[in-house]
Amino acid sequence: MPRLVTLLGATGSIGRSTREVVAENPDRLKIDTVVAGRDAAALAKVAVETGARFAALADESCGPALARALAGTGIACGAGRSAVLEAVARPSDIVVSAISGAAGLEATFAALTSGRVVALANKESLVCAGAAVMARAHAVGARILPLDSEHNALFQVLGAEPISSVGKMTLTASGGPFRTWSAERIAAATPEQALAHPNYAMGAKITIDSASMMNKGLELVEACFLFGLEAGQLDVLVHPQQIVHGLVTFRDGSVSAGMAVPDMRVAAAHCLGVDGRLDAPASRFLDLAVTAPLSFERPDLVRFPALKLAVAALAAGGAMPAILNAANEIAVEAFLARQLGFTGIPALVEAVCAESASALAAPEDIAGALAIDHEARNRARALLSQSRFAVT
């Protein structure tokens, strides 16, 4: 009997990779439920192609369009918060959480039920409420598997080793499209240039985060909660080839690397193959003999201050990572709307964090996390209206 999969973020890049892995293994996996944001036509197409039995959109106003698109298919559907939570509550073995941003927090938390595997690609769930999410998973007996390529590589490298054997974990970063750009060129970057990622085709928000290296900062916070590490045990290396996704340095000085081609289907296959490895086509196998020489460098925190801000938020702890994340989401939205320059993204985030110097304690539940997120977003919007953030 195939394992049933609930796919949150079905129309995004992670959703696409997940669907392809499922299609390659029809005897072991079956998509039952699909959820997306507001694109009714795209979700209806995914639901029909995957043979899903239920589809839901987060945007309630798009419900009628989804119902029309699925008319006559026999696929049940809904829209709005209650429909998303209904989708998560449906019986399934694996929930792939790939809704981008803090919007995926509530659904991810609801997905944590006894015996279920949650393949987590929504890093904001742990950034905003890591302690609460991990405590919930432990309390109910749910298993969280990281679907981010870097965390997935670290998870596989660690294997059965106890976390006490780890001296340091290193996440790699591509450096994004601006890795070799001068500070002056970066300051003048357009949304189109920032969206031109060298290795991956991803959603707009995560691609901009990669360009600013905020994405790597958020991943550091995520790693702290996933692996139970201290901030000082985490490191970042820029590795433009994206063949080595993570390194674990053990206490005895030995280092093990998690390597794979830069393809999200590799991490998706690991998470979905919970009862044993899935087969992949040979095109997804890594051939080091034909791979370009591998290079590594330290991130430049002057040209990429977003990473420095994330490291500081992680060190501060409490609610600061959630505040950082909320401010960044508003800043990225403003940049994509051409209301903010590229270097205005870290500048706005820094201003919001500075106004939150006496930040609250880490949220104990999802309601607390959402309240912190809401307040930080309002603060970011208020600051955004000031002349110092105007596009010049």
Q: Express each pLDDT in 1-21 by its tens digit.
A: 899 999 999 999 999 999 999
Place of tokens 């596989």: 156
pLDDT surpassing 70 at residue 392:
no
Cα separation, 10 vs 16, in Å, equals 7
pLDDT surpassing 80 at residue 79:
yes
Domains 3-147 and 154-250+297-389 alike in fold: no
Q: What fold is seen in the domain 3-147?
A: Rossmann fold (3.40.50)
Give the tokens for residue 105.
């927090």
Cα separation, 364 vs 343, in Å, equals 33
Helix ranges restricted to H, the chain:
13-24, 40-50, 63-69, 81-89, 105-111, 124-140, 149-158, 183-187, 191-194, 204-212, 214-227, 264-272, 305-316, 320-336, 344-355, 366-384
Percent of the chain with pLDDT over 70: 98
Give the tokens for residue 41.
């036509």
* Residue-by-residue DSSP string for 73-142: S--EEEESHHHHHHHHHS--SEEEE---SGGGHHHHHHH--TT-EEEE--THHHHHHHHHHHHHHHHHT-
Domain 154-250+297-389 has CATH 3.40.50.2300: no
Q: Are 250 and 175 in contact (CB under 8 A)?
A: no
> Which of 39-43, 46-50, 202-206 shows the lowest mean pLDDT across its residues?
202-206
Say if strands 166-173 and 244-250 run parallel, antiparallel, or are unpaired: antiparallel
pLDDT at 181: 97
Report residue 53's pLDDT band, with 50, 70 and 90 as the boundaries.
very high
DSSP 8-state code for residue 167? E
pLDDT surpassing 70 at residue 359:
no
Q: What is the mean pLDDT of residues 109-133?
A: 93
End-to-end CA distance of the chain: 59
Domain ranges of the chain: 3-147, 154-250+297-389
Exposed / middle / buried, residue 37 (Cβ in 10 Å: 0-12, 13-18, 19+): buried
Per-residue model confidence as pLDDT tens digits over 275-298: 799 999 999 999 999 998 999 999
